Copies of this chain bind each other. A is one copy, B any other.
Amino acid sequence: MTERSFAVVPATDDDWSAIWPFFREIVADGESYAFPLDLTEQTGRPWWMEQPPGRTVVARAGDGRVLGSAKWGPNRPGRGSHVATASFMVDPAARGLGVGRALATHVVAAAATAGYAGMQFNAVVETNTAAVALWTALGFRVVGTVPRAFDSRRHGLVGLHVMYRPLAADDPAPPTANGS
């Protein structure tokens, strides 16, 4: 794209009703997230809409449509709160537009600016090759893989990668991630 057709901006409370349909679809698809399987629009909200110091952002198209969303914040409280974590969902109807990469680049840069020392993903499904490739391109590496820890709907029991990259305020993302 020569022009970006969407912007990554803070989510408002009203955005949840637009996120929920693709959140539900992605969880039900069973290939990427270990969220509860019985969530409703009401009970699902706190699983995605973060309270400070967490943040939730959306990729909003020019016409206002929400194409994807990300949430991020400290991975642990207390003596682990200097490492961030994040989660990402892109509306399947908006795939191929670079939404995931734009969300990820935004979140990595924002976490670096906020002073986090690194970012950890706790559970990247190893068969979710698009996600693994994107995180690798953005400078994350696989720290380890917990065997058979995710019950993929199509693949059965597969591993969950723990992925990590250090962050520094003057190096928010490696060069390969700066074209989005």
Known: A34-B79, A34-B81, A77-B35. A162 touches B150 (CB 8 A): no
Known: A34-B79, A82-B151. A143 touches B117 (CB 8 A): no
CB distance B164 to A123 under 8 Å?
no
A contacts with B: majority SS: strand
Q: Smallest distance from the beta carbon of A92 to chain B beta carbons, Å?
A: 18
Q: List residues of chain B with CB within 8 A of the CB of A75.
A: 149
CB distance A144 to B118 under 8 Å?
no
Q: Does A11 count as interface, using CB distance less than 8 angstroms?
A: no
CB distance B143 to A34 under 8 Å?
no
Interface residues of A in 14-48 (CB under 8 A from B): 27, 30, 33-37
Q: Smallest distance from the beta carbon of A25 to chain B beta carbons, Å?
A: 14
Q: Smallest distance from the beta carbon of A32 to chain B beta carbons, Å?
A: 9
Q: List residues of chain B with CB within 8 A of the CB of A142.
A: 144
CB distance B144 to A145 under 8 Å?
yes
Docked complex Cα distance between A120 and B144 (Å): 12
Q: Give the B-binding residues of A (Cβ under 8 A).
A: 27, 30, 33-37, 75-83, 117-118, 120, 122-123, 142-153, 157, 160, 162, 164, 166
Which among B30, B81, B146 is the interface contact of A162 at CB below 8 angstroms?
A: B146
Docked complex Cα distance between A65 and B127 (Å): 48
Q: Select from chain B the residue with minimum beta-carbon distance to A152.
A: B79
CB distance A162 to B149 under 8 Å?
no
Which among B76, B81, B83, B150 is the interface contact of A80 at CB below 8 angstroms?
A: B150
Docked complex Cα distance between A54 and B72 (Å): 26
